[in-house]
Amino acid sequence: MAVVALAVSGCGAPEPGAETLVVFAAASLRGSFTEIGERFEAANPGTDVEFSFAGSSDLVTQLQQGAAADVFASADTRNMGKAADAGLLDGDPIDFATNTLTIVVTPGNPKQVTSFRDLTEPGLAVVVCAPQVPCGAATETVERAVGVELDPVSEESQVTDVLGKVTSGQADAGVVYVTDAAGAGDQVTSVAFPEAADAVNTYPIAVLKDSANPALARRFVDFVAGEPGQEILRDAGFGAA
């Protein structure tokens, strides 16, 4: 599988002598984890948190190939399991959030999409996540529950790219997480569907075995799983684990 380049973003410029923590996190966590990182830095002076956000499957591939990181947060248990099977984790992962799917369409829903089955209508340009990505695996679960097979115009390596195809007008509809739809605001219209309850994704987080600062990494994991992180995640629309 081709490995995509990961965008690394810090919460701020490192201070001289600062401890740097590198967190690999699912793309759907970008907004929430950026805020969590800022709060963590404020609570731990002298700490600089840097993030790599991408599809969970791509992040696991990067880690398997030797990428240096301290913490891994996946959008599903399957990819965290791959990391565990590869001997990459220091201790057991902690489940910290859940997420469900929704349909996003261009504002005002001009194509009148009202159900998941409507995504099979002729002439509708639909985009989804690739099957190996958590949101793609969840979409396939919904397809089986509904009894349909989508014919997307593209399959993206991360959920934020699905959203981007819709907001840019390159697609009429996409299947994303409710948190991504909420973050997009009035750039999209959301269409909920009951079968989403059949494909709830659980998000685990873990310290990595090769962490350069395992004590700091553990503090970050505890921060995410504790009330400061949970408050931010709730506000973004994530469910409790």
* Residue type (1 letter), 80: M
Say whether 177 counts as a known binding-site residue.
yes
Residue 115 is assigned to a ligand binding site: no
Partners of 102 in the β-ladder: 176
Which residues, in sequence order, are CB contacts of 139 under 8 Å at separation 6+?
101, 128, 129, 150, 175, 199
Closest CA to 37 of 73, 67, 63, 12: 12
The reply to whether 28 sits in an annotated binding site is: yes
Helix (H) or strand (E) holding 157: none
| Those residues with Cβ within 8 angstroms of residue 51's Cβ, 6 or more apart along the chain or in another chain | 8, 9, 10, 11, 22, 23, 24, 25, 30, 33, 34, 37
Q: Which run of H or E residues covers position 206? A: strand 201-207
Bridge partners of residue 73, in order along the sequence: 25, 205
SS3 161: helix
SS3 88: coil
Residue 142 counted as an annotated binding residue? no
Choose among 78, 115, 70: nearest CA to 208: 70
Q: Which residues make up each annotated binding site for molybdate?
A: 28, 56, 159, 177
Q: Which residues make up each annotated binding site?
A: 28, 56, 159, 177
